[in-house]
Amino acid sequence: MLKPSLHVLARHVSHRARGSATTNTSRIQKATTTLLIVGSSAAVATYFLLPDISRGAPTSDTKPISPSHFTPAELVSSTFASNGTKILTVAIPPELLPTERDLFAPIWSVFIKDDDIQVERPYTPLDGVDKDGNMKFWIKRYNHGEVSRWLHSKKVGETIEIRGPVRTWSWKDDTWDEIILISGGTGITPFYQLLRTVFSGNSFKGRITLLHSSRLPSELPPPDVLDPLLELARHNPDKFRLKLFVDSFGETKDQSFAGVEIHQSRIGKDAIWRAVHSASNFPSLRGLFSRDSDDSDRKILFLICGPEQMVGAIAGPYGRNYSQGPIGGVLQSLGYKSHQVWKL
């Protein structure tokens, strides 16, 4: 869509063309039509080439990291993971870490800038940031993703500029009894960050179920991501459950991963209903909740992160500019309300 000033320019050129057409020859009429096309094209080009505010943010190697400026970080590790993905680790000088540790409460992300074309995209550090300034990311390379392709091409020792932290969603202890996390592809990364933070302490009293979907078993998260989550599930059987789904097994005959059953189906109404109602997910609670238990006395939250088509099918499409939009999809059909759903 053209900016208002560009609409004015287009209308001005159009009026000039119509005025010339009423008084001049057809040759001049063609010329003015050409002028309209060239003028409008120039206006459109100007619109798309103008930098936005975030791209124009300054770079500082002396100030603590902040959403208001970019900070140079060194790429210290780059390893291939599952299909088309890499685990990347960047290091920020420890002295540039802010002292307010609550800035790193889950869920948060940083923007990474492609220096070549001055485009930025948000990415979620898996384990947050450690005391040495290290941030680890699981990033998929998309053919039409400028920043992801650029990141995959970077070599260890090169510099990457980041901006943040930026809060994606705010965690609060003792707010929910039941949390259902639903992810697809690399959409699992914010939930990894959340789970690792929540279970690093013992304050959470509720239950969390993570339903994760990939196209094929080979596209499931790599061991760097799945192994720590499986370990959390083993050590917290009454608080955390992980379930894996694939669209197809492809050529593989293995229907489990590290002892966890893989379900061949999309994450749909039945899987979500079972995640909420099946007390057998949590062994010590089998006598407290029946499969027909009433949800009205439980505070239930759904967090969804993944491809737009998946998010739309489960919770309804995003609104304008990736706002929450109204609830829809499977969760609406199950009777849940907007205040119980958050689309990351």
Instruction: Read off φ and ψ for residue 126, nearest 5 degrees.
Output: -60, -55
Q: Give the pLDDT confidence of 244-282 residue by residue, as tens digits.
A: 999 998 877 677 777 788 999 999 999 999 999 875 455
Q: 44 labelled as ligand-binding?
A: no
- pLDDT on residue 250: 83
Q: Give the pLDDT confidence of 288-333 residue by residue, as tens digits.
A: 444 444 566 789 999 999 999 999 999 999 999 889 999 999 999 9
Alpha-carbon distances, residue 129 vs 63, 124, 157, 197 (angstroms): 17, 11, 19, 11
If we measure between CA atoms, which residue out of 89, 59, 95 comes closest to residue 76? 89
Q: 62 labelled as ligand-binding?
A: no
Burial of 170 (0-12, 13-18, 19+ CB in 10 A): exposed
43: which DSSP letter? H
Q: 237 labelled as ligand-binding?
A: no
Q: 189 labelled as ligand-binding?
A: yes
CA distance 268 to 264: 12
Q: 63 labelled as ligand-binding?
A: no
Q: Give the pLDDT confidence of 33-68 residue by residue, as tens digits.
A: 443 334 434 433 333 333 444 557 999 999 999 999
Helices (H) and strands (E) in the chain, counts: 8, 13
Alpha-carbon distances, residue 70 vs 55, 60, 99, 268 (angstroms): 9, 6, 18, 40
Q: 147 labelled as ligand-binding?
A: yes
Q: 307 labelled as ligand-binding?
A: no
Task: Give the pTM.
Answer: 0.80
Alpha-carbon distances, residue 4 vs 30, 51, 196 (angstroms): 27, 17, 46
